[in-house]
Amino acid sequence: MNYNHYIPTEYCFKHAIHAIWQVDTFHQFHKEYIIPKGVVEVIFNFSDSSFIPAQLGGKLHYLSNCFISGFNTTPIQLHLPKQQVFFGVQFQPLAIKEIFKVPACEFLNITVDLTLLDSTFNSLWQQLAEQDDFDARVSVFLAWLRPNLIAWQPREQLMNSFIYAPNQHDASVTVLANSLCYSPRHLSRKLFDATGMNTEEILLYKKYLHAVDLIHQGELSLTEIAFQSHFADQSHFIKTFKAYAAITPGEYKRNMSKIKGHIYTDVR
């Protein structure tokens, strides 16, 4: 599997983009199981299959050449083509509304063909498809993005940082609201707009994400992970993890791949 990853360093980009990645591989597996990863991303599909079947939230979706996937609270199962080429852009949550004119909450647990929102994405997909390598695609995408950027306010930067931070899952609503300079009610509205979840829901979601991160570090037992992720007890940890991933943390640990959040099954 060829996997590339880029994190923007230029100020104007890093407050709009969390990361850019690409996977290019010939699969020995038929299926990919993706547990919720806590990101909102745009994915350009250059695979040998134009439309890829995906089960999400009990519904069958067909992933188009260019689609946006919002925050997920349920897993996704892909039926993989023999060759998979995905070029993905993980956006800062608050940037979605500014760039696409639709808040990220509208994409919770769904995928949407971006050409339905803006037909110019057909042209961008074509430009990206013509590039020979990952670095060239990054350059093309950043050139497209630059005119769409705005000046971000400090509070918005703090909000984006909180949502994607691997920690900050153990604060109370009041303490969190004070640290982000919002009232608790205003904070809940802002978080819902950016993720589709209110403050209490996102704090629980971040506990789950923190646990996934610790599982991949491979140094702690599941009991220790439950404690460090601030779950009430082991039972609460297992119940919460399964509510999001539809499998227990033990099942995930036994079957996970090197790519966080991804399990590959059904060998060809």
Residues 147 and 160 in one domain: no
Residues 24 and 146 in one domain: yes
Q: Is residue 262 part of a domain?
A: no
pLDDT of residue 151: 82
Q: What is the pLDDT along the chain (268 residues), one digit of tens a residue?
A: 789 999 999 988 999 999 999 999 988 888 999 999 999 999 999 998 778 999 998 889 899 999 999 999 999 999 999 899 999 999 999 999 999 999 999 999 999 999 998 889 999 999 999 999 999 999 999 999 999 888 888 888 999 999 998 888 888 999 999 999 999 999 999 999 999 999 999 999 999 999 999 999 988 999 999 999 999 999 999 999 999 999 999 999 999 999 999 999 987 6
pLDDT of residue 268: 63
Residues 123 and 91 in one domain: yes
pLDDT of residue 229: 96
Q: Select from 151, 183, 216 the last residue of a domain.
A: 151
Q: Is residue 240 part of a domain?
A: yes
Residues 100 and 184 in one domain: no
Residues 98 and 127 in one domain: yes
Cα–Cα distance, 46 to 171 (Å, whole number): 41
Tokens 């919720």 identify what position? 36
Q: Is residue 55 part of a domain?
A: yes
CATH of the domain at 84: 2.60.120.10
Residue 85 near residue 23, CB atoms below 8 Å: yes
Q: pTM of the prediction?
A: 0.93
DSSP 8-state secondary structure symbol assigned to residue 105:
G
Residues 136 and 79 in one domain: yes
Cα–Cα distance, 54 to 34 (Å, whole number): 10
Residues 12 and 136 in one domain: yes
Residues 160 and 121 in one domain: no
Residues 95 and 134 in one domain: yes
Q: Is residue 13 part of a domain?
A: yes
Residues 45 and 8 in one domain: yes
Domain that holds residue 213: 154-250
Residue 237's identity, in one-letter code, is: F
Distance (Å) of CA 141 to CA 19, 46, 124, 259: 12, 15, 8, 24
Number of domains in the chain: 2
pLDDT of residue 12: 86
CB-neighbour burial class of residue 32 (10 A; exposed 0-12, middle 13-18, buried 19+): buried
CATH of the domain at 193: 1.10.10.60
- Neighbouring C-alpha atoms within 13 Å toward the C-beta of 232: 5
Residues 58 and 146 in one domain: yes
Residues 58 and 177 in one domain: no
Q: What's the CA angle centered on 195, arms 187 and 188, to 5 degrees?
A: 20
